[in-house]
Structure 1
């Protein structure tokens, strides 16, 4: 989910259930991170919230949670993309006791899937996405 491009589309309506796959309402799950009411406590929670941000088209949240040294100047989210599910395959580090972590995931979309190992670090106490390695 390390897409670097040039334009920022408008957000779509928030879904009732959270797109990240956890059994919670969007507002009580990733929506609270998107709104700024809470910060993701782990690298996995940040990964889930970033996936949900792709689903709802929240480019501002994606930029805010991207490491300053790797963040693109602008984001271009494809408004035609239809994300259909997130599967967390593995995590390493990334807890309240770590300063870095990885999350390996598969994000499905209509017509295919994206398999990535993402790296996360803490910046000023908050988890941020650094970069990712696409996997076969």
Structure 2
């Protein structure tokens, strides 16, 4: 099962986010107790089922002599990782540090991204979807992916 789709939500006054039912189902099926890791990257908060995150950390630890930039990336992504668990209502608390990094105040967009999901501030996400993506088709084609719409 993969995280797919888009959902618009609002944080409650305590910074808790009700995940969509299909996202909750995926987390419960892939991680005991719905445990997940939230981390900051790419101007949003990313969520991973705990086993997927642990796999990422294992792979990352195999890097030999990482560059300074890679070490800084690790500081951001792994250093901001927080182990979370869904509460009884299927909510997850977004920490103040994650909210500050992603510019999240109240209204958010959740985006399924396959093995993970992203939590975006509504305003930041609106800026993404208004971009011109004409050059993306060429980049995909260069990678061997044909986009036929």
Whether the TM-score (by the shorter chain) exceeds 0.5 is no
Bigger RCO (CA 8 Å, 6+ sep): 2
The structure having more radius of gyration, on CA atoms, is 2
Q: Into which bin does the TM-score normalised by the smaller protein fall?
A: under 0.3
- TM-score norm. by structure 1 comes to 0.27
Judging by fraction of residues, say which structure has more helix.
2
Judging by fraction of residues, say which structure has more strand.
1
